[in-house]
Structure 1
């Protein structure tokens, strides 16, 4: 005779696990972002106008955009560690759209000037931009992956994009506090390249590392 199924038999032998708290993931990401910013400031220095507490408007604009993009994507991806019905995080889409205003402004500027800004494309600072931004993104992204592995992400592909975007935004933000360039073309090309590369890397690597 088959044993009757009941709640007691279904849960027998199950081991309780610690509940995932998105706030803890947010705190972890922000602490890593702050640590990366401090390390870059100590090893590479920070801009003179930021050190004097008088940043140029373009510096405030780019740093604020990266900060808000990082916060929005970090909030979205940490929420994914604990599946729920409804309440999807979509604020990151608006912040990504806002960040895309930089390449749009660059394209408009190129059309108006009638030339490609080679001084931005071939800028010698670009190597440092990519190196420091992506190094910071790697550190932040690795910590987020380890945290996400404790949860139950049901959409690994989206989690990959969001993890890469968040890590790239915060890594580039940390570099921007050191970066001495003020051209919108430089920001659009090289900051955009760093964040995009991080997002693509996240999409490729994260789903394989957090799959159940």
Structure 2
């Protein structure tokens, strides 16, 4: 191969990578708009927002969900490229996991044992599961469409990353309304809702992202 041909090929590959990232960014913007519209139609911001973000337990919910979203979008973009090794990037998932683990540990140390179960159950567990999933749905659809131009070797894994991204953003939207601040509640119910959307992303992505 001539040098000029190699340079043109590399430049072409770079343009495709940028287009995949920009396409996903545009798709996520549309999906988040859909999730935000559902939030406005169904819910309302919690009284005291945004000043409640000064409370550590409230801030933790957004730290966990948004760091998971950032790690998931990074992981998804790698997984839809053939031959990409995402094992190192998967370690970025330890950031939200570590933040949540630290919050749970602090909760168990500073609160009496009799408050653990009420904190875990919360007030609106069922609503959390339903509403996080509902607000994540347009984000998941948009993310999968944005990733469809890729060529993943493992479509189910790429779909799972899209699901984790959508679930975490849906959870962040719901956190604007949620009055259950215990990290135990976040671990149990936010975690379950995000896990459900992640599984849905894997199942849908297995077919939708295959090539």
| TM category, shorter | 0.7 to 0.9
Give the Cα separation in 2 of the matches to 1:69 and 1:30: 17
Matching residue of 1:106: 104
- Is residue 2:24 matched to residue 1:25? yes
Deviation at 1:41, TM superposition (A): 3.9
Distance 2:58 2:107 in 1: 18
Name the residue aligned to 1:118. 117
Q: Look up the match of 1:131.
A: 130
Deviation for aligned residue 1:104 = 5.9
TM-score, structure 1 normalization: 0.75
Q: 1:144 maps to what in 2?
A: 143
Aligned pair in 2 of structure 1 residues 23, 82: CA closer, same or farther (>3 Å)?
farther
Contact 2:167/2:194 (<8 A) preserved: yes
Q: Which moved more, 1:50-59 or 1:129-138?
A: 50-59
TM-score w.r.t. the length of structure 2 is: 0.75
Query: Which protein is richer in helix relative to its size?
Result: 2
After TM superposition, the structure 1 = structure 2 runs for residues 1-212 of structure 1, keeping only pairs within 5 Å, are 19=16, 20-52=19-51, 55-83=54-82, 88=86, 90-103=88-101, 105-106=103-104, 109-110=107-108, 113-114=112-113, 117-212=116-211
Kindly state the Cα deviation for residue 190 of structure 1 after the two structures are TM-superposed.
0.9
| CA displacement, residues 174-196 of structure 1 (integer Å, 9 cap, x when unaligned) | 10111111112111111111112
Displacement of 1:44 in angstroms is 0.7
CA RMSD of aligned residues (A): 3.0
Residue 85 to residue 123, structure 1, CA distance change in 2 (3 Å): closer
Q: Deviations over 1:104-153 (max 9, x none)?
A: 64367558855683313433311111111111222211122223233312
Residue pair 1:22, 1:82 contacting (<8 A) in 2 also: no
Change (3 A) 1:78 1:94: closer
> When the two structures are aligned, how many residues end up with a matched partner?
194
**1:21 and 1:160, CA in 2 relative to 1: closer, same or farther beyond 3 A?**
closer
How far apart in 1 are the matches of 2:43 and 2:28? 22
Unaligned runs of 5+ in 2: 1-14
Q: Deviations over 1:72-121 (max 9, x none)?
A: 211321343343667x4844532444335425643675588556833134
Q: 1:22–1:81: 8 Å Cα contact kept in structure 2?
A: no
Cα 1:85–1:36, aligned 2, differ >3 Å: closer, same or farther? Answer: closer
